[in-house]
A and B are shown apart, each in its own frame.
Chain A
């Protein structure tokens, strides 16, 4: 029997038993919407919360939190203290670290207004607050002039928006800690918040001279190699830098920013699975009832020569059609749920990791951009779950009835 005829016969049956078909579709729709919605919300939140760590190319952040320094022309950010740079020198000796960058963040005051500065190593471009890939669309695009070079001293690269607000161009001079810096380029760091983001980026050696606290970092970015044990590395960092150091991993970051721990994710997935199991039982029961209602018709089909497998195929196709409809609507509802959730979500980098003075003439954003993540992969999961559910229900319903002798089935008529 051609599949198109099976499909036609199945569609006619579904339109005849509208309320039963609708109930099954609603059940499948609800479970798919819940499962895909939970996954999509979780992925959307995870992606936005992880964006700062991802764009920094790091697995770990090392910072030393403490009391604010006394007021001066230049000062470290309110909650960050200095860490000796030499403490980080030996961390990667055993190959556990694949990349490391230390930066020095500080505030430079002029006329009572702070400018946010980050000193960084010009030669490290694969990890840290900015990665000048010079490619449009990626962080961070040089929009004017050039990026910092190894030989630079009193040279600065400025944030594009800061440059616009201060009227700075390539070749302009900017006062940092009482010293004139020449603007070499402007960089677009995007609107989303970054760890150790700044309005002005200068070479770290020059930054250390201005801050005058020796060879220090305020934040260290560490990318672990694949064989590294994060727990062992944390111990190693504490032993080298100090027990009171704050280490933030990618997982910590997610938990801090989005309040989403591995446990909450597992719980959400677990609840979805329980709902799916319950809906599966309901759909199987509904399919069984629908099949028993038409026991006589199935008897007629068998009497005219339909094999058991033809009957199983027809009923399974009916269930798959119901499931596909439920699955597609479920995915659509899941998208709406995710969209509404994301639109009403507001995530920001925690103040302990990055904070900027409110009194700055123009400041940097700590808000994270939250986008709806709804990949084809999620739709595939939703549809697949729905179809498997349909096949199970159809098979369970039809298998029992198809094994009856036609005469037994016909007695129902």
Chain B
């Protein structure tokens, strides 16, 4: 369970550079939910995902995942938290261009101390699940946008995380490819019981989720079950 309690996040120190990205945001997410975070650009969706995933720290309030207050973790424990519990999917895929597809998928497994051969087998198996088993040796640049996002999802899922955080995962894809990516995320939610949180401004995606949270100017203005 993710418990978000009164969190605020401000960027910049003072004056016009100061941006209040989140203001007193509170809500709870149960395990296995599939949620869309909606809102216009600058509403605070990405900031919220970053805070839940431990990529950034909030200024006040707290975020607990399975009753562990991640806001209080040091850098090392936060890294372990991300490795064990979180998977990220980014809008621009963020695959490392020098590494092959399978090596990119192995990245989250490496800090766990797993042997190379084992990492490889797990990564290969995960790649098959996203339908790209034959492309393991290709470089990201040799794949289409949709294929790259599948690889990114495989990377997010390879360490069997409890939560996958996807920031505009279909943003750079055409609608047909985007739909397939969404189906993939849905399948992970339904078959693997992974909690999925998708930040998007696309209304069509919201119809596939079970819950919609709408943000505006850093505040939750709507939280409805679908």
A-side interface residues toward B, CB under 8 Å?
1-2, 4-5, 9, 12-13, 15-16, 296-297, 300-308, 310, 403, 405-407, 410, 413
17 intermolecular pairs with C-beta atoms under 8 Å apart: A1-B111, A2-B115, A4-B116, A12-B99, A296-B94, A301-B107, A303-B88, A305-B80, A305-B86, A305-B108, A306-B107, A306-B110, A307-B80, A403-B75, A406-B82, A407-B50, A413-B90
Contacting pair B94 A300 (CB below 8 A) = yes
Contacting pair A2 B80 (CB below 8 A) = no
Contacting pair B84 A304 (CB below 8 A) = no
Check B71 for interface membership: any CB of A closer than 8 A: no
Contacting pair B79 A405 (CB below 8 A) = no
Considering the chains assembled together, what is the distance between the CA atoms of A310 and B109 in angstroms?
A: 12
Considering the chains assembled together, what is the distance between the CA atoms of A200 and B106 in angstroms?
A: 80
Considering the chains assembled together, what is the distance between the CA atoms of A306 and B110 in angstroms?
A: 8
Check B150 for interface membership: any CB of A closer than 8 A: no
User: Who on chain B is nearest to A17 by CB?
Assistant: B98
Q: A2-B113, A304-B108, A307-B111 are in contact. List 7 more A-B contacts (CB 8 A).
A: A5-B116, A13-B98, A303-B88, A308-B79, A310-B111, A407-B56, A413-B92
Contacting pair B55 A307 (CB below 8 A) = no
User: Who on chain B is nearest to A302 by CB?
Assistant: B79
Which residues on A sit within 8 Å (CB–CB) of B96? 297, 300
* Cross-chain contact of B111 among A12, A300, A306, A406 (Cβ < 8 A): A306
User: Who on chain B is nearest to A2 by CB?
Assistant: B116
Which residues on A sit within 8 Å (CB–CB) of B57? 405
State the 8 A-B residue pairs at the shortest beta-carbon distance, nearest first.
A305-B83, A304-B108, A407-B56, A1-B110, A407-B55, A307-B79, A406-B55, A16-B98
Considering the chains assembled together, what is the distance between the CA atoms of A307 and B92 in angstroms?
A: 23
Considering the chains assembled together, what is the distance between the CA atoms of A302 and B78 in angstroms?
A: 10
Considering the chains assembled together, what is the distance between the CA atoms of A403 and B86 in angstroms?
A: 20
Check B159 for interface membership: any CB of A closer than 8 A: yes
Considering the chains assembled together, what is the distance between the CA atoms of A1 and B115 in angstroms?
A: 8
Which residues on A sit within 8 Å (CB–CB) of B175? none
Complex interface residues of chain B between 111 and 141 (CB less than 8 A to chain A): 111-113, 115-116, 119
B142 → chain A closest CB, angstroms: 15
Contacting pair B79 A410 (CB below 8 A) = no
Considering the chains assembled together, what is the distance between the CA atoms of A1 and B108 in angstroms?
A: 10
Contacting pair A305 B84 (CB below 8 A) = yes
B15 → chain A closest CB, angstroms: 20
Considering the chains assembled together, what is the distance between the CA atoms of A16 and B110 in angstroms?
A: 21
* Cross-chain contact of A12 among B86, B88, B90, B98 (Cβ < 8 A): B98
Which residues on B sit within 8 Å (CB–CB) of A305? 79-80, 82-84, 86, 108, 111-112, 159
User: Who on chain A is nearest to B117 by CB?
Assistant: A2
Contacting pair A303 B53 (CB below 8 A) = yes
Considering the chains assembled together, what is the distance between the CA atoms of A387 and B63 in angstroms?
A: 44
A139 → chain B closest CB, angstroms: 58
Contacting pair B79 A413 (CB below 8 A) = no
Considering the chains assembled together, what is the distance between the CA atoms of A302 and B80 in angstroms?
A: 10
User: Who on chain B is nearest to A11 by CB?
Assistant: B98
Interface centre among A301, A304, A407, by most chain B C-beta atoms within 10 angstroms, is A304
B71 → chain A closest CB, angstroms: 13
* Cross-chain contact of A304 among B88, B116, B119 (Cβ < 8 A): B88
B166 → chain A closest CB, angstroms: 13
Which residues on A sit within 8 Å (CB–CB) of B56? 405-407
Check B212 for interface membership: any CB of A closer than 8 A: no
Also in contact, A307 and B76, with CB within 8 A (given A5-B110, A406-B55, A410-B55): yes
Contacting pair B55 A304 (CB below 8 A) = no
B143 → chain A closest CB, angstroms: 17
Which residues on A sit within 8 Å (CB–CB) of B88? 303-304
A324 → chain B closest CB, angstroms: 20
Considering the chains assembled together, what is the distance between the CA atoms of A12 and B98 in angstroms?
A: 6
Which residues on B sit within 8 Å (CB–CB) of A16? 97-98
Considering the chains assembled together, what is the distance between the CA atoms of A6 and B148 in angstroms?
A: 24
Considering the chains assembled together, what is the distance between the CA atoms of A413 and B90 in angstroms?
A: 11
Considering the chains assembled together, what is the distance between the CA atoms of A305 and B79 in angstroms?
A: 5
Which residues on B sit within 8 Å (CB–CB) of A307? 75-76, 79-80, 111
Contacting pair B98 A306 (CB below 8 A) = no
B157 → chain A closest CB, angstroms: 11
Considering the chains assembled together, what is the distance between the CA atoms of A52 and B167 in angstroms?
A: 79
A305 → chain B closest CB, angstroms: 2
Which residues on A sit within 8 Å (CB–CB) of B83? 304-306
Which residues on B sit within 8 Å (CB–CB) of A405? 55-57
Which residues on B sit within 8 Å (CB–CB) of A406? 55-56, 82
Considering the chains assembled together, what is the distance between the CA atoms of A270 and B84 in angstroms?
A: 52
Check B45 for interface membership: any CB of A closer than 8 A: no
Considering the chains assembled together, what is the distance between the CA atoms of A4 and B79 in angstroms?
A: 22
Contacting pair B111 A413 (CB below 8 A) = no
Considering the chains assembled together, what is the distance between the CA atoms of A9 and B98 in angstroms?
A: 9
Considering the chains assembled together, what is the distance between the CA atoms of A85 and B79 in angstroms?
A: 84
Contacting pair A1 B76 (CB below 8 A) = no
